[in-house]
Amino acid sequence: MSGFFECRQDAGGGPLLIAGPCAAESREQVLQTAMALQGIPGLFAFRAGLWKPRTRPGAFEGVGKKGLAWLQEARERTGLRLAVEIAVPAHAEACLKAGIDIMWIGARTVVSPFVVDDIAGVLSGSKACIMVKNPLNPDAGLWTGGVERLQQAGIGELAMVHRGFDAFSSHPYRNAPLWEIAMEMQQRFPGLPMLCDPSHIGGSRSMLAEIAQKALDLGMQGLMIETHIDPGQALTDQAQQLSPGELRSLTGRLQVKKADAGGFDTTLESYRAAIDGIDEQLLGLLARRMKVSELIGLYKKERRLAPYQPGRWAALLENRLEKGSRLHLDNDFVTKLFNLIHLGSLKKQG
Ligand code: PEP
Ligand code: MN
């Protein structure tokens, strides 16, 4: 089994690309998708989930072990390596037995150090390539712990996958990218490739190209993109899966900019990405605040209360100044900021 770096050389030094359906659904769907993906530049592995972690029971939960034979057939026909998610030790055992080349530990699993430990125990000493996705919650420590647990197990090769986070305000993304956390992980583990999963960050087809380009601009080495032979019929993550043709055109439009050459500055890009992400969250929070203002406005109107309540405003500003100063924010700045917010809110309340 060749590792990620060898694959990257095969890909001519360009980004590593993993593609395939969110979930294996049938033998035909697996084979048709894999064959339609053949020849896309940089594509080195075919992904498919066999055991699907679903938020609520009763939804399609994957075909399980029987999909392994479909994947093996896809590998025989296309020469693509296989990548499968493992969520419990039994999945790792089944994948090792079936000779799956790459396994990844998903966001819902990385949150549990107990489960990661148990999986690492099964993989210990194997030659498998393992990818560790970020945990659901924005916690670089937990992600680091997952990587370290696998490093200690002495496996073939490791990589990380950035798939976004459950955040208080993730709009317009399905999962907030919080690029700064992925950047921090790249600095902590400079020897490990970082792949981006734009599908789970964006949650919708139209957002994938921009996210994928951003990941490359930030120096990430690869992409994992969900691709289905007929996305409209997909049993899981329908809105975010691309058709093989759409993937081909998306990857064809990506630009790999070289750090240093031509003045492209990855460090500056990563700071900018952090700022962009934080601003998006700020806007999302402001919009939520305005919605609440609207509700307060209606409530006051019904009770014939004036929108402006001087006592409440004085107490609010004092409280925000105190909190702001604990966060080392300048008093004058906080005063001006909340005056603007308050004015906007009064306007909403009519
Ligand atoms: C997936 O890749 O299909 C998946 C379930 O991902 P995540 O663990 O990132 O939600
Ligand atoms: Mn998915």
The pLDDT tens digits of the residues spanning 106-126 come to 999 999 999 999 999 999 999
Say which amino acid occupies 80: L
Average pLDDT over residues 256-284: 79
**In terms of pLDDT, which residue wins out, 12 or 87?**
87
Range(s) of the chain covered by CATH 1.20.59.10:
266-349
In the reported structure, the alpha carbon of residue 263 is separated from the centroid of ligand 2 by a whole-number distance in angstroms of: 36
Q: Which residues line ligand 1 (CB under 6 A)?
A: 22, 49, 53, 85, 106-108, 133, 163, 200
Q: Does domain 6-253 have CATH number 3.20.20.70?
A: yes
- CA–CA gap between residue 77 and residue 70 (Å, rounded): 11
- Angle subtended at Cα 175 by Cα 169 and Cα 176, rounded to the nearest 5 degrees: 55
* pLDDT over 80 at 6, yes or no: no
Burial of 311 (0-12, 13-18, 19+ CB in 10 A): exposed
In the reported structure, the alpha carbon of residue 54 is separated from the centroid of ligand 2 by a whole-number distance in angstroms of: 10
**In terms of pLDDT, which residue wins out, 14 or 33?**
33
In the reported structure, the alpha carbon of residue 337 is separated from the centroid of ligand 1 by a whole-number distance in angstroms of: 39
Average pLDDT over residues 58-81: 96
Residue nearest to atom 4 of ligand 1 (CA): 106
- CA–CA gap between residue 83 and residue 68 (Å, rounded): 11
Range(s) of the chain covered by CATH 3.20.20.70:
6-253
In the reported structure, the alpha carbon of residue 22 is separated from the centroid of ligand 1 by a whole-number distance in angstroms of: 8
CATH of 266-349, one of 3.30.1330.10, 1.20.59.10, 3.40.50.2300, 3.50.50.60: 1.20.59.10
Pocket mutation for ligand 1, best pick of 60, 85, 130, 161 (most atoms within 8 Å of C-beta): 85
The structure tokens listed for 321 are 């100044």
Provide the pLDDT confidence category of residue 262 given band limits of 50, 70 and 90: low
Query: Which atom, in ligand 1's list, is nearest to the CA of 161?
Result: 9
